[in-house]
């Protein structure tokens, strides 16, 4: 499995909000802090986007996609000079499976969703900018199929439309991250490493065979680089040493199995590349901050308390 797929599979992205907003001018909506990732795609019209902490607002045109991975409050408006209205005070909940019309609609139609992430979402989000704007013609073409299907599901709901819309938001999240990678990514973290062809080869080894006894020379050879040049570039782009990254990834995989499986500690340790439970437990505590069993119990309790996908509104 490639690194992007393996990370997203581990984090189990699930959309618990998906729908459309059909806006009529004038309008200005404020959205508060949130967990996870938000995705918006403009189908028609245009609007402004202002994200807290980002100096310049963005002009969003029909066909553009926006990924908001930072959890920061943001505002969308026909005119940013307008006083904002709290979005949750006017948008009915839940929105899944439908399009909400505001001020009569007709000026700007947008589709979007809120994707929640399980586990250590910081591993995915580290290094990402607070807003990713997908505005190139090639980006729009890549997302067009998902957008068109989502429009159809929301405008002409049939049995299962709400669930399909939720899954399409997750699909568009993957598409947006892939397009961000193809554009060069930037920033600091594993996603930036995937944008580098040589580092991507080494990351593919780590994610493809995490239990293998990888060494710095092995990974450098897979990247086609000298050991010193590879270690230096990996640290500069990904933000950590290659072997430290390998250990972190092993522990995250182990943490997921502790929370979601009935495997024994010995089985989980072996799958992480450790011959003894004690060596694995020491490494796990050093990386994850608590012993393996305590981590598993905490994750299971968090999963039980986590809100599930919202039900679609009654017809």
Task: Give the phi and the psi of residue 184 in degrees, each rounded to 5.
Answer: 110, -10
Q: How confident is the model at residue 96 (pLDDT cuts 50, 70, 90)?
A: low
Burial (CB < 10 A; 0-12, 13-18, 19+), residue 297, is middle
The token pair at 189 is 């973290």
When pLDDT is averaged across residues 215-223 and rounded to a whole number, the result is 97
* Structural domains in the chain plus CATH codes: 3-182 (2.60.120.10), 196-302 (1.10.10.60)
Q: How confident is the model at residue 183 (pLDDT cuts 50, 70, 90)?
A: confident
When pLDDT is averaged across residues 48-71 and rounded to a whole number, the result is 92
DSSP state letter for 40: E
Percent of the chain's residues with pLDDT above 70: 89
When pLDDT is averaged across residues 72-101 and rounded to a whole number, the result is 87
Tell me: pLDDT of 86 over 80: yes
The region of weakest confidence among 106-115, 125-134, 248-257 is 125-134
| 3 state SS of 187 | coil
| Residues 271 and 257: beta-carbon distance below 8 Å | yes
Q: Which pLDDT belongs to residue 125?
A: 72
Give this prediction's pTM. Answer: 0.77
Q: Which pLDDT belongs to residue 202?
A: 96
Q: Which pLDDT belongs to residue 72?
A: 92
Q: Which pLDDT belongs to residue 134?
A: 85
Cα angle: 55, vertex 117, 37; to 5 degrees: 25
CB atoms within 10 A of CB 228: 10
Tell me: pLDDT of 244 over 80: yes
Between 86 and 171, where is the model more confident? 86
Please list, in sequence order, all residues whose beta carbon lies within 8 angstroms of the beta carbon of residue 121, skipping any fewer than 6 positions away.
Answer: 11, 35, 36
pLDDT tens readout for residues 255-314 = 989 988 889 999 999 999 999 999 999 999 999 999 998 888 887 777 666 555 444 333
| Residues 62 and 147: beta-carbon distance below 8 Å | no
When pLDDT is averaged across residues 124-151 and rounded to a whole number, the result is 79
Q: How confident is the model at residue 106 (pLDDT cuts 50, 70, 90)?
A: very high
The token pair at 274 is 């450790």
Can you say how many angstroms the Cα of residue 110 is from the centroid of all Cα atoms in its chain?
20
Q: Which pLDDT belongs to residue 94?
A: 65
Query: Average model confidence (pLDDT) for the chain?
Result: 85
Q: Which pLDDT belongs to residue 307?
A: 53
Q: Which pLDDT belongs to residue 114?
A: 81
Tell me: pLDDT of 148 over 90: no
Please list, in sequence order, all residues whose beta carbon lies within 8 angstroms of the beta carbon of residue 268, skipping any fewer than 6 positions away.
Answer: 254, 257, 258, 261, 280, 292
Cα angle: 201, vertex 202, 207; to 5 degrees: 100
Q: Which pLDDT belongs to residue 261?
A: 87
CB atoms within 10 A of CB 286: 10
Give dist(CA 262, CA 119) in Å, integer.
17
When pLDDT is averaged across residues 220-237 and rounded to a whole number, the result is 96
Angle between helices 242-260 and 3-11 (to 10 degrees): 40
Tell me: pLDDT of 315 over 60: no
Q: Which residues pair with 50 in a beta bridge?
A: 75
For residue 39, whether the previous peptide bond is cis, meaning omega lies within 30 degrees of 0, is no
The string over 190-219, giving b where at least 16 C-beta atoms fall within 10 Å of a residue's C-beta and e elsewhere, is bbbbbbbebbbebbbbbbeebeeebebeeb
Nearest to 112 by CA among 29, 182, 25, 53: 29
Between 154 and 60, where is the model more confident? 60
Nearest to 28 by CA among 57, 3, 54, 2: 57
């Amino acid at each position: 499995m490639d690194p992007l797929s393996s990370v997203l599979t581990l984090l189990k992205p699930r959309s618990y909000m998906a729908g459309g907003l059909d806006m009529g001018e004038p309008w200005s909506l404020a959205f508060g802090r949130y967990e996870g990732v938000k995705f918006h795609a403009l189908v028609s019209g245009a609007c402004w986007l202002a994200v807290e902490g980002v100096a310049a607002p963005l002009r969003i045109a029909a066909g553009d996609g926006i990924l908001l991975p930072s959890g920061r409050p943001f505002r969308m408006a026909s005119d940013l000079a307008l006083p904002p209205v709290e979005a949750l005070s006017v948008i009915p909940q839940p929105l899944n499976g439908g399009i909400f019309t505001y001020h009569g609609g007709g000026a700007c139609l947008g589709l979007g969703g809120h994707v929640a992430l399980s586990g250590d979402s910081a591993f995915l989000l580290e290094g990402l900018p607070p807003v990713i704007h997908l505005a190139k013609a090639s980006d729009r073409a890549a997302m067009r199929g998902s957008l068109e299907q989502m429009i159809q599901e929301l405008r002409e709901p049939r049995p299962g439309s709400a669930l399909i819309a939720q899954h399409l938001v997750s699909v568009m999240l993957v598409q947006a991250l892939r397009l961000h990678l193809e554009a060069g990514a930037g920033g600091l973290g594993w996603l930036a490493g995937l944008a580098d062809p040589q580092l991507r080869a080494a990351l593919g080894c780590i994610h493809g065979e995490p239990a293998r006894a990888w060494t710095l020379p092995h990974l450098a050879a897979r990247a086609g680089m000298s050991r010193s040049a590879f270690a230096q570039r990996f640290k500069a782009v990904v933000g950590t040493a290659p072997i430290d990254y390998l250990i972190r990834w092993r522990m995250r995989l182990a943490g997921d199995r502790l929370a979601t499986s009935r495997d024994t500690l010995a089985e989980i340790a072996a799958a992480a590349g450790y011959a003894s439970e004690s060596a694995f437990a020491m490494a796990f505590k050093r990386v994850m901050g608590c012993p393996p069993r305590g981590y598993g119990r905490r994750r299971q309790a968090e999963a039980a308390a986590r809100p599930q996908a919202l039900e679609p509104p009654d017809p």
